[in-house]
Amino acid sequence: MVPLSLMRINSLISGVSLCLLFFASAALAQRKKNVLFIVVDDLRPALGCYGDPNAFSPFIDDLARHATLFRSAYCQQAVCAPSRASFMTGKKPDHTKVWNLETHFRTALPNVVTLPQYFKNHGYYARQIGKIYHDPLAAQDPPSWSAPGLYGVTTNLGKYVLDSNLVHAPKATVSEAADVPDSAYIDGMVAAAAVKELQHMSSKPFFLAVGFRRPHLPFSVPLAYWQEPKQNIPAFT
């Protein structure tokens, strides 16, 4: 099992979970709170905070101890695009008409106000880094954001780094353990971009959405995450 504390966005983002909303107080205009929204693809409750004895997820577990842990939360549909469209719009799949991986939710609901769009409409700077929506059209969804997103469309970038797998991508082996830094894979790229964005945010309050793709197949992460985890991990702060 890939250790679930996959990404450390330096000391600014210390862990990821199924879907987390972090509210950080800031001395900004009208004292509005910033929002850091993190979503992780295919991450089920196989986490220490949910009682999984094999999962090594110290940052998520520590966050759960200081936050609200939901034990009866269910996705609307066991498919990526419908579930994401439902969550981001607050509408069930029967209303979004999204049941596959290709349909844009704005086909049926052109005027729907998404979660980030709501914040943007109320004076927030809304930015997307990583996978938030799914299909290529919805992945960028201009009404949702204040600026174009980064790494929103799923490609072969960062899925594999070994030449033997790149030849057969996108559907090659189910796992890869290359001895490379985090930045060689897509989630490392997303984490680095999120850190940079946080360090250069404007004076406006922000809604920053960060989407990680692992543990979705392929299980391709740096070798370090396949090895015995270190136990001396600092607490989430």
pLDDT (tens digit per residue) in 61-115? 999 999 999 998 888 888 899 999 999 999 999 999 999 988 999 999 999 999 9
Could you tell me if residue 161 is inside a domain? yes
pLDDT band, very low/low/confident/very high, at 5 (cuts 50, 70, 90)? very low
CA distances from 175 to 46, 162, 178, 217 (A): 18, 11, 10, 8
Tell me, yes or no, whether 23 lies in a domain: yes
* 75 catalytic residue (yes or no): no
Residue ranges of E strands in the chain: 19-24, 34-40, 125-130, 175-176, 206-212, 219-220
The helix (run of H) or strand (run of E) holding residue 227 is none
- Determine, yes or no, domain membership for 148: yes
Identified catalytic residue from 134, 168, 200, 216: 134
In a domain, 144, yes or no: yes
| Number of structural domains found in the chain | 1
Query: Is 40 inside a domain boundary?
Result: yes
Any domain includes 55: no
Instruction: Return the CATH number at 99.
Output: 3.40.720.10
Structural domain containing residue 139: 19-45+75-167+192-216
Q: Mean of the per-residue pLDDT values for the chain?
A: 83
Q: What is the pTM of this model?
A: 0.82
As a whole number of angstroms, the distance between CA 144 and CA 67 comes to 27
pLDDT of residue 172: 75
Map tokens 């900004």 to a residue: 28
pLDDT of residue 32: 84
Q: What is the DSSP letter of 119?
A: H
Catalytic, 134? Answer yes
Active-site residue (options: 19, 75, 80, 122): 80
